[in-house]
A and B are shown apart, each in its own frame.
Chain A
Amino acid sequence: MFRRKRKATDFSSEIEAHIQLETERLREQGLSEDEARAAARRAFGNVTRAEERFYEPRRWLWWDHLRQDLRFAARMLRKSPGFTAVSVLSLALGIGATIAIFSVIYALTLRPLPVDRPEQLVQVLGVLNEDLHTYSEWKIFRERQDIFSGVLAYNHSDVYFQIASPTGQQEVEGEYVSGDYFWTLGVQAVLGRALQTSDDLPGATPVCVLGYGLWRRAYGQSRDVLGRKIRVNGNDFVIVGVAPKSFFGVDIGSMLEIFMPLEAERTYRDYAIRYGHQTPSLDDPATIISIAARLKPGISTNQANAGLQVLGAEIYSALTSRPDGNKWHRAAPKSLSARSMQNGTSNEWLQNMDVAVLLMIMAAVALIIACANLGNLLLARAAKRRSEIATRLAIGASRWRLVRQLLTESVALSAAGGVAGLLIARWGSQVLLWTLSYPDDPLLLDLSWDAKLVAFAVSITLACALLFGLAPAFGATQISLSSAMNNGVTTGRPRSKFMNSALVVAQVALSVAVLVSAGLLARTLQAFLTQDLGYDPKGVVTAQATWQGGGERPQPTARVAEEILKAFRSLPSVTSASASWGPASYSHGLPQLTVPGPGGSERRMGAYPTGVSSEFFKTRRTPLLAGRDFNDGDTGTSPPVAILSEALAKALFGAVNPVGLTFREDDQDGSGRDYYVEVIGVVRDIQYRRPDYGPLLIFYRPVSQCGCSTMIMAFYEIRIAGAFAESSKRLENAGAAIDSRVSLKFGLLSNVMDGVLRRNRAMALIATTFGLFVALLAMIGVYGVTSHATAERTREIGIRMALGAERRDVFGMLLGEMMRVVCVGVVFGLAAVFPAAQIIQGAIWGVKTTDPLSLSFAICLMLLIAGIAAFLPARRAMKVDPMVALRYE
């Protein structure tokens, strides 16, 4: 029921009427007007009290108090802008960093997939307990399974497609998916329809579903995209629908923008373009497919596992008993199992979690230190406000009301910090994403805010307010009225020395641990940078070529590529030039190499293949350790030859000089042909990836010999004499003169390693920033504690000086006392380094945890900072005039 709230004025007029009535009654009894009125008032008692009692039970009261408190808090904060600025800033940085890092961790591991009932989804694991399956396996699995209410498959590797859309040619991330993909996930198209089973049949019309981002970017969200054709890798697909905005696939960290049926891939066989000479067809074991499924309601993962075990064995015997069964022995699963996929799959990015966790801990440490400092500063302020608080208590404010008032100030401070922190977090989480990304494989996450993230941010902010506000609020209101009122200006009850010391020890210890961790990360980066790369990147320009229209006609493009290389070499400023397939690590699938082992046995291993032209090693200045380089005599008709990397030569042939020996390269394309390849040389290992992964096992083949009819030599490396800008212009002109459809993207070879190490660089930078931030906070903390303690001891210092202590002695005593505490903190901090290093073990390489440089840097910096922070108050104490100090009290 809604009853109108009664107004306070209405209540007051009722009381007024009462007093009138009573006065009249008393006058009728014979009292004078004044006497009657006074008596009536006396009988009524305290009018204000009655009004308050009318008013108080109303819920408006807390709102009123809150408004008063907030107004008062704002006034107090405005009155000390320096204090407010320092507190808000340090809180903002602490809260912002914590939220930024948490939002990334949340998106990586905790945020459920934006699909229907994600808790029912499982990943189906096969060989080696990984989600590696084959298309043939998937077909049998789909037909025979009755464990799940729905199943789906998609190709596992990150695949970029060249698409031609109204806004021009671009490369987008996409996936081939099974027809039941969208249905099983329960994802509806926002426009048109999702893919369906009938699209994923041999010979079906090639259709595709656009991701929301591509639809917006390339088609301006136009509704008439349906039925239009989009050119993907040179093939036309009909657009039938658009996926929802929030849907990015099931792999966390990717952002799929085009979905096509698996069978369409067979139709177009664009594998040749993407995978080079290996061209595995959809039915080959080399094609990797991922399988996921939706559990039936009420079925647990364990129950599903029992069924999967049986099904796995069935699939294995079905595949191996086929006519081509021998190639399925390794590729078919002997058993299957399920793993929850509620939060998506993110195997690749989970290895970055240790770094994220470390950063999270650093941010939390920074935030806690910031709170401790604020608490300390507020305590000191509260001491100054003792007489104000005592007065308020004396005139009848309740203690709870005052605590609330002081807490409101803390919450206001914290909220200001939180709001500023959110701005920092928005920006910080992008920086963090960039840090975790590899240049050619960006980490794309849904960082939008949902209820859980908002709850996290709000509770962090409130927790901070309580953390730094509770102790001062209760401490300040716990005062004896008489003493506080009498000697109004004395500072508060001396805080225990132990508390002060503990605060400093904790801050210094945490700072040292963070600084050492940052130092270790920086030293790791240094170790990477000084690592022998196996080549000299200085003065080498890279050029990546793309042909308009993708790889529609591979034959002529290979010829064009060679002509461009010749044109480059003929330029006067070019010392040498080469072409290759690109970094060896780009290879998909490892060909197996076999050599005869001792006693008729065989030695087999997988190695990374890469095709290079002549002068590749000369351009990179990679030393040839044995044998010769490729030359013009190595053609498609001459005997197959290869140059091995040092690591591969050692692994395959041991200590024997392999030059002149041969190895067998297993058939990968199903043509039934094995190659026998002669080794003509060995080169120094080239670091294509982060040095801590060790050198890749690489075999180089001349581009002229390895199925290059379908391969584009897209990566040029040119050693130049002269400036980059000028040379790249000339190279571009030379390329355009050969074929105008070629576009060249220029870069520096030295940037390649920079790209690989970008994460390490950024990580070291972020950690160092955190370290300095935490150290700065510790400085504020030490300063606060020292100046407070010194102020409390003014009298003692006065006595000491009156008794003949030199100023120098006083200074030395105060500084010495503080530095002793700081040293204890440093020792604790060094002890904390070991657990911290455990967490970032994966990110540390080439340095020991006890790296003397990192340790001494952290210790010296900390002592310096603490020294400065303690020096200022100690110098102030030195100037104490004993007469003044003693007279004062």
Chain B
Amino acid sequence: MSTQEARDRLELLQGTLDLLILRTLIFGSQHGQGIARAIQQTSEEELLVEHGALYPALQRLEERGWISAKWGTSVNNRKARFYSLTPAGRKQLVKETTKWKRLTAAIGRILGPQAKRS
């Protein structure tokens, strides 16, 4: 993956990183690097997640009580900090998802069907 590739990717909108992290954790606990990979892969490499930005976001979510963390061992036997969704985080995810869907739908209506493809 070259710099050229990275430049073509979409930058995340403000505030969406939290939503993506919560969404990723719905399948079970995961460490930071795993979350970053998951977001990139699930978005078919369209989204650019700066790994450096991920950790402060994880920290923020943890402080709000939406995710919890503990140190564990990764599949290839490395020490890593694993995050998992709390019940409050699950609720927040539902709320944020609904909000996001309404937002994109509204913007989509304004931009019209012809703008969809470009």
Contacts and interface: CB of A to CB of B under 8 A. Distances in A.
B52 A44 contact: yes
B76 A53 contact: no
Contact of B52 (A11, A13, A50, A57): A50
A21 B55 contact: no
Nearest to B1: A39
A53 B56 contact: yes
Given A14-B81, A20-B78, A24-B76, A54 B51 contact: no
B32 A14 contact: yes
Contacts of A45: 50-53
Interface string A37-56: 00100011111011001100
B20 interface: no
Contacts of B76: 21, 24
Q: Most chain-B CB neighbours within 10 Å: which of A14, A45, A53?
A: A14
Interface string B38-67: 000000000000111101100110000000
B79 interface: yes
B92 interface: no
Contacts, number: 60
A513 B76 CA distance: 85
A17 B52 contact: no
B52 A47 contact: yes
B51 to A, nearest CB: 4
Nearest to A43: B51
Interface string A1-26: 00000100001011101101110110
B80 interface: yes
Q: Most chain-B CB neighbours within 10 Å: which of A17, A21, A44?
A: A21
A15 B31 contact: no
A17 B78 CA distance: 8
Interface in A410-450: none
B52 to A, nearest CB: 3
A50 B80 contact: no
Given A14-B32, A18-B32, A24-B76, A54 B81 contact: no
Interface string A542-555: 00000000000000
Interface in A45-104: 45-47, 49-50, 53-54, 57
Contacts of A18: 31-33, 36, 51, 55, 80
A526 B113 CA distance: 100
B24 to A, nearest CB: 15
A9 to B, nearest CB: 13
Contacts of A20: 78
B71 to A, nearest CB: 9
A59 to B, nearest CB: 12
B37 interface: yes
A21 B52 contact: no
A16 to B, nearest CB: 9
A50 B57 CA distance: 10
Contact of B51 (A6, A44, A53, A57): A44
A50 B32 contact: no
| Prevailing SS type, chain A contact patch | helix
A21 B51 CA distance: 12
A17 B51 contact: no
| Prevailing SS type, chain B contact patch | helix
A15 B78 contact: no
Contacts of A14: 32, 55, 80-81
Nearest to B3: A42
A688 to B, nearest CB: 79
B33 A21 contact: yes
Q: Most chain-B CB neighbours within 10 Å: which of A11, A17, A57?
A: A17
A765 B57 CA distance: 68
Contact of A21 (B31, B50, B53, B56): B31
Contacts of A21: 31, 33-34, 74, 76, 78, 80
Nearest to B75: A21
A39 B2 CA distance: 9
B33 A54 contact: no
Nearest to B52: A45
Interface in B61-105: 74, 76, 78-81
A146 B110 CA distance: 80
Contact of B53 (A13, A50, A57): A50
Contacts of A15: 55
B74 A11 contact: no
A13 B51 CA distance: 15
Contacts of B59: 6, 11, 54
Given A17-B78, A17-B80, A22 B33 contact: yes
A44 B53 CA distance: 8
Nearest to B34: A21
B56 A50 contact: yes
A11 B55 CA distance: 8
A591 B115 CA distance: 110
Contacts of B79: 13, 17
A210 to B, nearest CB: 61
A15 B54 CA distance: 10
A74 B38 CA distance: 51
Interface string B13-38: 00000000000000000011110110
Contacts of B31: 17-18, 21
Nearest to B81: A14
A24 B75 CA distance: 12
A53 B58 CA distance: 11
A13 to B, nearest CB: 8
Nearest to B51: A44
A43 B79 CA distance: 20
A46 B55 contact: no
Nearest to B37: A25
Nearest to A40: B51
Q: Most chain-B CB neighbours within 10 Å: which of A15, A25, A49?
A: A15
A95 to B, nearest CB: 43
A57 B79 CA distance: 26
Contacts of A25: 33, 37
Contacts of B34: 21
Contacts of B80: 14, 17-18, 21
A46 B50 CA distance: 10
B11 to A, nearest CB: 13
Contacts of B37: 25
A30 to B, nearest CB: 12
A41 to B, nearest CB: 9
A582 to B, nearest CB: 80
Nearest to B60: A57
A86 B36 CA distance: 60
B68 to A, nearest CB: 10
Contacts of A44: 50-52
A24 B34 CA distance: 12
Nearest to B2: A39
10 contacts: A14-B32, A17-B80, A18-B33, A21-B33, A21-B74, A22-B33, A43-B51, A44-B51, A45-B52, A50-B56
Task: Kindly list the 3 A-B residue pairs having the minimum CB-CB distance in the complex, ordered from nearest.
Answer: A45-B52, A53-B56, A21-B33
Interface of A: 6, 11, 13-15, 17-18, 20-22, 24-25, 39, 43-47, 49-50, 53-54, 57
Given A18-B31, A49-B52, A54-B59, 19 more contacts: A17-B79, A17-B81, A18-B33, A18-B36, A18-B80, A20-B78, A21-B31, A21-B34, A21-B80, A24-B78, A25-B37, A39-B1, A44-B51, A44-B52, A45-B50, A47-B52, A50-B53, A53-B55, A54-B56
